[in-house]
């Protein structure tokens, strides 16, 4: 399982490797530079040409130090290399200084100026080794150069390789550190290939990170895997063994999910959720309908059952059947039904997914919702819904982050979980999931797992249903949310272009089979 690290985690791992004599800083830097060169050779094997030209941009810290190693190695491979560096040699940290001096035995270091324009030179490659995990404030005075690089890159030349992290990006949040009023494109360098070391960082997966990294390689620099134990946030995955059904089980062993719907004409969302719950493997799924929608829903369902739930009292009486062990409220529910049903549902103490209307209906008084939430509850907002329930936590995500580490979507989800007492799943290509105790996971549909066809109406309803189905099957809360988000994205990837929400539940059997369930 891949764990995403913070910059602090990485510094600790590096420090303990040096203390334990696993490697010196100089060795790690040499390996880092070498891995970058190997990765770019593997990425662009068209390098048979002899007269290749690279511009290497080196910052004032150890990221710059990696850059001087890359410059030296490319030179050794016959590249024509020009190096533009920040800071005076004697002010660089020791390993970076030594590598700059080694480069100065080969070529010169031109002081980096914001007036540099690579368009005139047309290099084949730009190596961005300005800033990595140590960026703490907006990059000053290089906006023109960054724009120039972006414009040339858009024309197909040069290729840009980022050392560890695209400069300007915050390693912990994936957000571009920039002054209010500046554009991300003038505050960070977008890369074609990003080569990071040991393990990916949170910033490679969150927010703008993937679009600035483009492609990500995590290269081994000889740090021990054990050093990472207990650190980082796992990427969500699903386990075949947990998803398999016991051969001796009967339907009630796999739980009974209840999905509440709104009135006539707005039952599609709950039906999508119910289908998601059924395909996720719940033993039974029932839709709770008001009188006005009974015929409409009955005409549309077959394997899914139906029960009348007109008000809170009826819901309480339906929930006397303790075999109903997982509830889903929100998709298409309507504000009035939310107010009537959500308090009853939450007080019943079952695994409960609250989505859509069940969140926004509490916009005026989120505390009224939070008062009754318990550890079996999962809130599944997208950013708009999140902003309504947690406006103060959403605000820093909307403002330009002027210092690093910047508040991340993960920080916001963790704070929301702690405040609400429920697991919070904040949706997006970088879905973050946090439980009230602080445990978290990231279900990212980025890089080779991109699932852009999920951006269509109703897919969130299916996600709520899949998670409800897993809760019904007995998955622990965080696991249900994480596995559900993973399966949902895999279903979208499996179906591919043209996906609409209805396709997602029907794709799940193929996802299970591919996982070896
Ligand atoms: N950890 C590991 O295991 C390994 C790490 N390795 C490499 O080290 C990198 C981390 O190095 P790092 O800590 O020196 O930070 P880095 O990103 O070079 O920047 C810090 C410098 O920039 C400065 N500075 C910051 N913001 C600025 C701004 N806006 N404008 C101007 N200056 C600014 C800051 O100055 P200060 O804030 O101190 O004033 C400081 O001088 C990491 O990304 C990886 O590439 C590898 O060698 C292999 C093993
Ligand atoms: N570009 C994207 N890449 C990956 N997943 C996405 C993308 N856009 C949306 N999604 C996912 O699709 C779902 C959309 O849910 P939501 O916004 O609630 O839509 P709806 O309310 O129409 O069902 C979420 O699971 C979200 O994470
Ligand atoms: K960099």
pLDDT digits (tens, 9 = 90+) for 312-348: 999 999 999 999 999 999 999 999 999 999 999 999 9
| Ligand 1 neighbour 482 (Cβ under 6 A) | no
What span, in angstroms and rounded, lies between the C-alpha atoms of 128 and 123?
A: 13
Is residue 13 a contact partner of residue 227, using CB atoms and an 8 Å limit? yes
What span, in angstroms and rounded, lies between the C-alpha atoms of 182 and 257?
A: 49
Is residue 359 a contact partner of residue 383, using CB atoms and an 8 Å limit? no
Give the DSSP per-residue string, 347-409.
HTTSEEEE-THHHHTTTT-HHHHHTT--TTEEE---HHHHHHH-HHHHHHHHS---SSSPP-H
Residue for token digits 């005076």? 88
Domains of the chain: 3-232 (3.40.50.10260), 240-515 (3.40.1190.20)
- Neighbouring C-beta atoms of residue 141, cutoff 10 Å: 11
pTM above 0.90, yes or no: yes
Structure ipTM over 0.90, yes or no: yes
Ligand 1 geometric centre to CA of 19 (Å): 20
Ligand found nearest the CA of 272: 2
| Backbone Cα Rg of the chain | 26
Enumerate the known binding-site residues for (6S)-NADPHX: 62-66, 132-138, 164, 269, 332, 382, 461
What span, in angstroms and rounded, lies between the C-alpha atoms of 331 and 325?
A: 19
Nearest CA owner, ligand 2 atom 22? 457
Give the residue from 172, 151, 150, 178 showing the smallest Cα distance to 162. Answer: 150
User: What percent of the chain stands above pLDDT 70?
Assistant: 99
- Neighbouring C-beta atoms of residue 186, cutoff 10 Å: 17
Ligand 2 geometric centre to CA of 114 (Å): 39
SS3 103: helix
Nearest CA owner, ligand 2 atom 16? 460
H or E segment at 211?
Answer: helix 209-213
Q: Tell me, what's the pLDDT at 20? A: 93
- Bridge pairing between strands 324-329 and 351-354: parallel
Q: Tell me, what's the pLDDT at 246? A: 87
Beta bridge partners of 84: 57, 110
Is residue 216 a contact partner of residue 196, using CB atoms and an 8 Å limit? yes
Cα diameter, the chain:
84
What span, in angstroms and rounded, lies between the C-alpha atoms of 194 and 3?
A: 17
What span, in angstroms and rounded, lies between the C-alpha atoms of 13 and 315?
A: 53
Instruction: Fill in the DSSP letter of residue 166.
Output: -
Ligand 3 geometric centre to CA of 355 (Å): 39
pLDDT tens, N- to C-terminus, the chain (517 residues): 899 999 999 999 999 999 999 999 999 999 999 999 999 999 998 755 556 999 999 999 999 999 999 999 999 999 999 999 999 999 999 999 999 999 999 999 999 999 999 987 789 999 999 999 999 999 999 999 999 999 999 998 899 999 999 999 999 999 999 999 999 999 999 999 999 999 999 999 999 999 999 999 999 999 998 888 899 999 999 989 999 998 888 888 899 999 999 999 999 999 999 999 999 999 999 999 999 999 999 999 999 999 999 999 999 999 999 999 999 999 999 999 999 999 999 999 999 999 999 999 999 999 999 999 999 999 999 999 999 999 999 999 999 999 999 999 999 999 999 999 999 999 999 999 999 999 999 999 999 999 999 999 999 999 999 999 999 999 999 999 999 999 999 999 999 999 999 999 999 999 999 999 9
């Amino acid at each position: 399982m891949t764990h995403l690290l913070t910059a602090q985690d990485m510094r600790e791992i590096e420090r303990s490797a040096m203390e334990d004599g696993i490697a010196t800083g100089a060795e790690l830097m040499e390996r880092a530079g070498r891995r970058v060169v190997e990765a770019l050779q593997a990425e662009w094997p068209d390098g048979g040409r002899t007269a290749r030209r690279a511009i290497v941009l080196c910052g004032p810290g150890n990221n710059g130090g990696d850059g001087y190693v890359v410059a030296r190695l490319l030179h050794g491979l016959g590249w024509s290399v020009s190096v533009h560096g920040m800071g005076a040699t004697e002010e660089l940290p020791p390993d970076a200084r030594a590598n700059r001096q080694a480069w100065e035995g080969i070529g010169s270091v031109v002081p980096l100026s914001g007036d540099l324009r690579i368009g005139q030179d047309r290099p084949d490659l730009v190596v961005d080794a300005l800033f990595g995990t140590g960026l703490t404030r907006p990059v000053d005075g290089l906006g023109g150069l960054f724009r120039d690089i972006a414009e040339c890159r858009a024309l197909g030349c040069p290729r840009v390789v980022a050392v560890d992290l695209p400069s300007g990006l915050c390693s912990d949040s994936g957000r571009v550190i920039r002054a209010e009023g500046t554009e991300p494109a003038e505050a960070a360098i977008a890369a074609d290939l990003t080569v990071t070391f040991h393990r990916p960082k949170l910033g490679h997966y969150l927010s703008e990170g993937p679009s600035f990294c483009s492609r990500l390689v995590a290269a081994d620099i000889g740090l021990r895997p054990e050093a990472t134990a207990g650190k980082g946030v796992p990427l969500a995955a699903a386990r075949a063994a947990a998803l398999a059904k016991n051969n001796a089980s009967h339907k009630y062993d796999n739980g009974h999910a209840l999905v509440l719907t709104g009135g006539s004409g707005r039952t599609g969302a709950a039906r999508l959720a119910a289908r998601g719950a059924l395909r996720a493997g719940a033993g039974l799924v029932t839709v709770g309908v008001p009188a006005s929608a009974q015929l409409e829903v009955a005409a549309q369902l077959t394997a899914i059952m139906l029960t009348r739930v007109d008000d809170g009292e009826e819901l309480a009486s339906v929930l006397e059947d303790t075999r109903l062990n997982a509830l889903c409220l929100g998709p298409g529910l309507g504000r009035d039904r939310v107010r009537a049903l959500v308090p009853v549902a939450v007080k019943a103490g079952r695994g409960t997914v609250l989505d859509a209307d069940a969140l926004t209906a509490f916009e005026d008084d989120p505390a009224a919702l939070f008062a009754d939430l318990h550890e079996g509850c999962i809130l599944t907002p997208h950013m708009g819904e999140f902003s309504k329930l947690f406006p103060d936590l959403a605000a820093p995500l909307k403002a330009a982050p002027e210092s690093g580490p910047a508040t991340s979507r993960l920080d916001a989800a963790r704070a929301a979980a702690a405040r609400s007492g429920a697991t919070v799943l904040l949706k997006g290509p970088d879905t973050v999931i946090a439980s009230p105790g602080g445990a978290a996971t990231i279900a990212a549909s980025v890089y080779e797992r991109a699932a852009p066809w999920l951006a269509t109406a109703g897919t969130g309803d299916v996600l709520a249903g899949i998670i409800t189905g897993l809760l019904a099957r007995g998955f622990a809360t965080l696991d249900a949310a994480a596995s559900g988000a993973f399966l949902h994205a895999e279903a979208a990837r499996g179906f591919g272009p043209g996906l609409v929400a209805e396709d997602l539940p029907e794709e799940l059997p193929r996802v299970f089979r591919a996982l070896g369930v």
